[in-house]
């Protein structure tokens, strides 16, 4: 068969010569063999042309431009850094639901590709969602991403985010949080991206004497995580003095809960468990993954001796980002606390978790953890007045019940990352 094709091509390539047939009384006569040769040539030429078109179509120069590289009227293209993580994935879901175009950039150091796959399944349409695997510490890669995509706004979630870990490995935190924010900001400036929503934290306030915390409360962070975030804020604010960028800095309090429809959840790396947040620790204890819950510090100057925190549901938090995006104005900076305004003790939290899971979680009381502060809760007046935002999911037990449903049905989180 191969040989036949070879000869057919060779014959077809031979120049077509039409000669008078010697025994045909001087009449011109076309040899039928030669005639089929001619047809073969045409077929071959057509096949080669089709092949060329196909190859050109595959090549990037010929391909129609990606929708992510174009600006479309009425479509806001948001770069969500850290979109494979807990808060970033929930934010991406909401942005997609609100008809935005989303690009997630994540190095999967902490997040889950499984969360991205869930989003891709929910929004498979061309031009809605793309995932780019990249490290924000790689300025060259970041610049390439900005040069190939037409972003309208950036929500910069990507960060390492554990207070305890930051006290053990401070340089990692300054590098990942402060230095990477600089990379993102420089890329935004270089490529004319005009809106930034920055994920900051109540850890930038440290341990203020006066509660609740307002945006005017002095920022005196006491651990490298809070300091690195405060430095990032300062960089953004200094840059903003000579820029027309629209900037919103959101200082979150303690984030809990998950998507009420059960599509996404919180699934930190198992190796980060020891640094983990209280909700994850409660669920791990309830599922028997850990023998019990360790409450660190019972001698704080609070009503029951345990720390007091302001727990904000992730759905409310994401809503605050959407409001911030809507209200961001060129040349203006908005700084907002995102919390419920109500402090709950760790003991209260544990009781709510026991009720939400239905498990009598074993609790061990241990000495304080370095870098922790006694009492932190927000005054959310400013965000209510200026962005018309108020927390709606304020029932701790209900938020934990929602999160627990996802945890129970995802014993292995999103599965192993690939
Ligand atoms: N969870 C909270 O209670 C809380 C509270 C206050 C502020 N924050 C802030 O919210 C943001 C998101 O936190 P989260 O709880 O979703 O954390 P997370 O660990 O679940 O998500 C962070 C994501 O960023 C990615 N990432 C980290 N470094 C990166 C890098 N160099 N390049 C690319 N991607 C990188 C991780 O892979 C991960 O997907 C962080 O900035 C954090 O500081 C969180």
Q: Quick check: CB of 270 below 6 Å from ligand 1?
A: no
Q: Quick check: CB of 86 below 6 Å from ligand 1?
A: yes
What is the whole-number distance in angstroms between the Cα of residue 86 and the centre of ligand 1? 7
Q: Quick check: CB of 180 below 6 Å from ligand 1?
A: yes
- Both tokens of 171, joined, read 């340089």
Residue 45 has pLDDT above 90, yes or no: no
Q: Quick check: CB of 120 below 6 Å from ligand 1?
A: no
pLDDT in tens, 190-234: 999 999 999 999 999 998 989 999 999 999 999 999 999 999 999
What is the whole-number distance in angstroms between the Cα of residue 1 and the centre of ligand 1? 59
Q: Which of 79, 80, 81, 82 to mutate to test the pocket of ligand 1 (most atoms within 8 A of CB)?
A: 82
Query: What pLDDT is attached to residue 326?
Result: 98
Strands 153-156 and 77-81: parallel
pLDDT in tens, 299-343: 998 999 999 999 999 999 999 999 999 999 999 999 999 999 999
Question: pTM, whole model, 2 decimals?
Answer: 0.86
What is the whole-number distance in angstroms between the Cα of residue 158 and the centre of ligand 1? 4
């Amino acid at each position: 068969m191969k040989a036949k094709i070879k000869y057919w091509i060779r014959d077809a390539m031979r120049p077509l010569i039409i000669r008078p047939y010697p025994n045909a009384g001087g009449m011109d006569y076309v040899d039928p063999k030669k005639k089929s040769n001619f047809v073969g040539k045409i077929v071959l030429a057509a096949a080669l042309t089709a092949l060329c078109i196909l190859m050109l179509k595959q090549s990037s120069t010929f391909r129609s431009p990606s929708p992510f590289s174009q600006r479309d009227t009425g479509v806001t293209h948001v770069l969500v850094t850290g979109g494979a993580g807990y808060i970033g994935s929930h934010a991406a879901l909401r942005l997609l639901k609100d008809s935005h175009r989303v690009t997630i950039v994540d190095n999967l150091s902490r997040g889950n590709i499984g969360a991205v796959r869930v989003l891709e399944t929910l929004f498979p349409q061309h031009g809605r969602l793309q995932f780019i695997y990249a490290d924000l510490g790689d300025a060259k890669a970041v610049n390439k991403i900005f040069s190939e995509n037409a972003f309208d706004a950036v929500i910069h979630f990507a960060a390492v985010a554990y207070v305890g870990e930051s006290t053990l490995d401070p340089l990692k935190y300054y590098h990942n949080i402060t230095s990477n924010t600089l990379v993102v900001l420089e890329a935004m400036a270089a490529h004319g991206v005009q809106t930034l929503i920055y994920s900051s934290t109540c850890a930038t306030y440290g341990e203020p004497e006066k509660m609740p915390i307002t945006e005017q409360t002095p920022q005196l962070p006491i651990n490298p995580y809070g300091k690195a975030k405060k430095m990032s804020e300062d960089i953004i604010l200094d840059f903003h003095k000579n820029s027309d960028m629209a900037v919103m800095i959101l200082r979150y309090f303690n984030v809990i809960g998950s998507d009420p429809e059960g599509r996404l959840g919180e699934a930190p790396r198992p190796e980060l468990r020891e640094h983990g947040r209280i909700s994850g620790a409660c669920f791990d204890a309830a599922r028997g993954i850990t023998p019990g819950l360790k409450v660190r510090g019972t001698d704080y100057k609070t009503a029951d001796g345990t720390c007091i925190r302001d727990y904000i549901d992730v759905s409310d938090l994401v809503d605050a980002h959407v409001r911030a995006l809507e209200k961001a104005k060129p040349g203006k900076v908005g700084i907002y606390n995102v919390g419920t305004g109500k402090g709950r003790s760790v003991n209260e939290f544990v009781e709510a978790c026991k009720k939400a899971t239905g498990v009598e979680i074993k609790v061990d009381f241990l000495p304080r953890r370095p870098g922790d502060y006694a009492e932190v809760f927000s005054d959310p007046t400013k965000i209510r007045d200026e962005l018309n935002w108020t927390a709606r999911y304020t029932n701790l037990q209900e938020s934990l019940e929602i999160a627990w449903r996802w945890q129970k049905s995802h014993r292995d989180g999103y599965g192993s990352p690939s």
